[in-house]
């Protein structure tokens, strides 16, 4: 505040000095104008002819007034030009101050952007750490199922009392499930056979539980860590002799898709899928890689 008052005081003092200077210059102009009028009067008085004397004085006095008016106007213009110069200087100073302020604001904006970027990185890192911790906790409490053995056979010449062929071959599959993770609850397995060139385009043959070979009297839905269970499944539909022959000669393929559902300790549902393809050379099901099309090796390549 003292600096601001001092600046205002200096400005007022400068204005007073300028006003005093202006008034002083006008007084000098008025004084010289008076002197010029007196000199003109004295010259006119010394003229011998009275008429010419008045005429001379009048004409020259008018010219003198015009000259005085021109001098005063020029002085006023000069003062206005000086004022405009001062205003221009002040405006340039204001412009420089505004430019400095703009630079400061730009630097402040850059710092703010850097802080925002740092905060975003910190938030992202926190979210990643939380996701990693959540995944680690999820894996620590999650069951992990696998299939340790698949036994496959045909029951031949079975008469069908439902729809489909009157007689044919009924597949029997025994699957051994192993829980290598934490405890699993409400375990269910839904397998099905697919006959055709691929999992997506083949014909489905649903399988139902025939017997729990590990626990014949009850359905096992709880798997402790390390527990395993053998479940025997049979198809509700029969295969014809031509279909069985096509599988045996590898003219078509037989897939096994097993979908397993269960709860972990936090009652969160989990799902696992197992894909297998029948190999007639070993009469066993082997792994079918995920997202990989199984091609018939007996078909001619283009």
From first to last of its 302 residues, what are the pLDDT tens digits of the chain? 445 444 444 445 555 555 555 566 777 777 777 787 777 667 666 665 655 666 666 777 777 778 778 888 888 888 888 888 888 888 988 998 999 899 999 989 999 999 999 999 999 998 888 888 877 777 677 888 999 999 998 887 666 555 555 678 889 999 999 999 888 988 999 899 999 998 888 999 988 887 655 554 445 788 989 998 889 998 878 898 899 999 999 899 999 999 999 988 776 788 999 999 999 988 899 998 765 544 444 444 33
Same domain? For 170 and 101 the reply is no
Measured CA to CA, the distance from residue 272 to residue 263 in angstroms comes to 12
Measured CA to CA, the distance from residue 64 to residue 115 in angstroms comes to 76
Strands 185-196 and 167-179: unpaired
For the chain, what is the HEC assignment? CHHHHHHHHHHHHHHHHHHHHHHHHHHHHHHHHHHHHHHHHHHHHCCCCHHHHHHHHHHHHHHHHHHHHHHHHHHHHHHHHHHHHHHHHHHHHHHHHHHHHHHHHHHHHHHHHHHHHHHHHHHHHHHHHHHHHHHHHHHHHCCCEEEEEEEEEEEEEEECCCCCCCEEEEEEEEEEEEECCCCEEEEEEEEEEEEECCCCCCEEEEEEEEEECCCCCCCCCCECCCCEEEEEEEECCCECHHHHHHHHCCCCEEEEEEEEEEECCCCCEEEEEEEEEEECCCCEEEECCCCCCCCCCCCCCC
Torsion of the alpha carbons at 164, 169, 170 and 173, rounded to the nearest 10? -140
| Domain housing 24 | 2-116
Query: What is the reported pLDDT for 85?
Result: 87
Determine the distance from the C-alpha atom of residue 113 to the mean position of all C-alpha atoms in its chain, rounded to a whole number: 16
CATH code of the domain containing 220: 2.60.40
Measured CA to CA, the distance from residue 47 to residue 112 in angstroms comes to 89
Query: What is the reported pLDDT for 11?
Result: 47
Domain assignment present for residue 216? The answer is yes
The residue with tokens 């970027």 is 117
Same domain? For 158 and 268 the reply is yes
- C-alpha distances out from residue 300 to 161, 195, 251, 295, 297, Å: 40, 20, 11, 11, 8
Query: What is the reported pLDDT for 77?
Result: 84
Domain assignment present for residue 104? The answer is yes
Same domain? For 111 and 218 the reply is no
Same domain? For 60 and 102 the reply is yes
Domain assignment present for residue 298? The answer is no
Of 116, 135, 157, the residue that ends a domain is: 116
Same domain? For 151 and 277 the reply is yes
Same domain? For 100 and 150 the reply is no
Same domain? For 79 and 164 the reply is no
Question: Which phi and psi angles does 51 have, rounded to 5°?
Answer: -65, -45
Same domain? For 280 and 154 the reply is yes
Measured CA to CA, the distance from residue 150 to residue 207 in angstroms comes to 14
Domain assignment present for residue 293? The answer is no
Measured CA to CA, the distance from residue 275 to residue 256 in angstroms comes to 6
Domain assignment present for residue 257? The answer is yes
Domain assignment present for residue 92? The answer is yes
Same domain? For 156 and 102 the reply is no
Same domain? For 149 and 109 the reply is no
Domain assignment present for residue 110? The answer is yes
Structural domains in the chain (count): 2
Cβ neighbour number for residue 199 with a 10 Å cutoff:
17
Same domain? For 110 and 156 the reply is no
- C-alpha distances out from residue 187 to 18, 39, 108, 139, Å: 101, 130, 60, 18
Same domain? For 156 and 109 the reply is no
Domain assignment present for residue 74? The answer is yes
């Amino acid at each position: 505040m003292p600096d601001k008052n001092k600046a205002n005081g200096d400005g007022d003092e400068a204005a007073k000095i300028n006003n005093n200077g202006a008034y002083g210059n006008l007084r000098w102009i008025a004084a010289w104008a008076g002197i010029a009028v007196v000199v003109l009067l004295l010259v006119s008085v010394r003229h011998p002819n009275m008429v010419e004397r008045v005429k001379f004085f009048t004409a020259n006095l008018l010219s003198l007034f015009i000259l005085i008016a021109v001098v005063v106007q020029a002085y006023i213009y000069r003062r206005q030009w000086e004022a405009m110069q001062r205003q221009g200087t002040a405006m340039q100073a204001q412009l420089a101050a505004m430019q400095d302020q703009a630079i400061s604001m730009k630097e402040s904006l850059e710092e703010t952007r850097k802080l925002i970027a740092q905060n975003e990185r910190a938030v992202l890192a926190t979210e990643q750490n939380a996701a990693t911790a959540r995944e680690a906790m999820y894996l620590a409490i999650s069951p992990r199922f696998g299939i340790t053995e698949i036994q496959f056979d045909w029951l031949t010449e079975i008469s069908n009392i439902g729809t489909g062929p009157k007689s044919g071959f009924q597949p029997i599959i025994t699957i051994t499930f192993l829980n290598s993770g934490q405890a699993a609850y409400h375990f269910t397995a839904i397998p099905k056979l697919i006959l055709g060139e691929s999992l997506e385009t083949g014909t489905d043959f649903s399988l139902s539980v025939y017997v729990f070979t590990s626990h014949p009297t009850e359905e096992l839905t709880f798997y402790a860590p390390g527990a395993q269970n053998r479940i025997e499944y049979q198809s509700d539909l029969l295969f014809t002799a031509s279909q069985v022959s096509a599988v045996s000669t590898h003219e078509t393929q037989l897939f096994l898709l097993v979908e397993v559902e269960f709860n972990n300790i936090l009652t969160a549902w989990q799902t696992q899928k197992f894909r297998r393809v029948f190999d007639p050379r070993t009469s066993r099901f082997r792994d079918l890689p995920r997202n990989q099309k199984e091609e018939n090796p007996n078909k001619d390549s283009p």
